[in-house]
Amino acid sequence: MIILNMLQGSDEWFKIRTGLPTSSNFDKIVTTDGKPSKQREKYLYTLAGEKVSGIKEDTFQSFAMQKGIEKELEARNYYKMLYDVEVQEVGFCLADNGLYGCSPDGLIGDDGGVEIKAPLIHTHVSYLLKGKLLEDYYQQAQGSLFVTGRKWWDIMSYYASLRPVIIRVLPDKTFLKALEVELILFCDELEKITSKIK
């Protein structure tokens, strides 16, 4: 893994991610049970278009997403205090083969990482009651483990004044094998499509 230090959300950060599959979108490549996703083709075509044009496709940013970005620092500080750890902020982690990557919300020591979500209150309450946080971000967490080679990854849902939901994710060898196969096929097809539309 290659760690690229840049500010997340900067022009440089968007440029490195243009045309590249990232763990936040691995759910568009593979389902939680290791099968190809129904969103695969659309994501494939989007990335191929980005690779050739050099332009990152604008993605919709809801009020909830914008609020989550604003609350991320507060949530990260809460996590640091809760576990008494240092959280290393990095821009982007690129796989050794240069074909895909992830943008962690933080790396912890040599073994861990964290993905922070700061959703609207109703979503956070649903995570507290129904425990679907892992289900919603399973491919992203496993994908970040795959890209970085880390031993564990915490997914955290944070809402000020309510208790957080924090789930520690360990590598799922069966899923990671399926993810690796699907990523190889996806990246190979991406290369072929890119060549055809140049």
Residues facing residue 168 across a β-bridge: 154
Q: Could you identify the residue written with the tokens 């990260």?
A: 76
DSSP state of 15: H
- The SS3 call for residue 90 is coil
- Mean pLDDT across the stretch 123-151? 96
Which token pair is 15?
A: 């440029």
CATH of the domain at 181: 3.90.320.10
Q: Look up the domain containing 26 and give its range.
A: 2-197
Domain count, the chain: 1
Return the pLDDT at 131.
87
Q: How far apart are CA 78 and CA 157, in angstroms?
A: 11
Q: Say whether pTM exceeds 0.85.
A: yes
> Mean pLDDT over residues 154-179, rounded?
96
pLDDT in tens, 1-13: 899 989 898 889 9
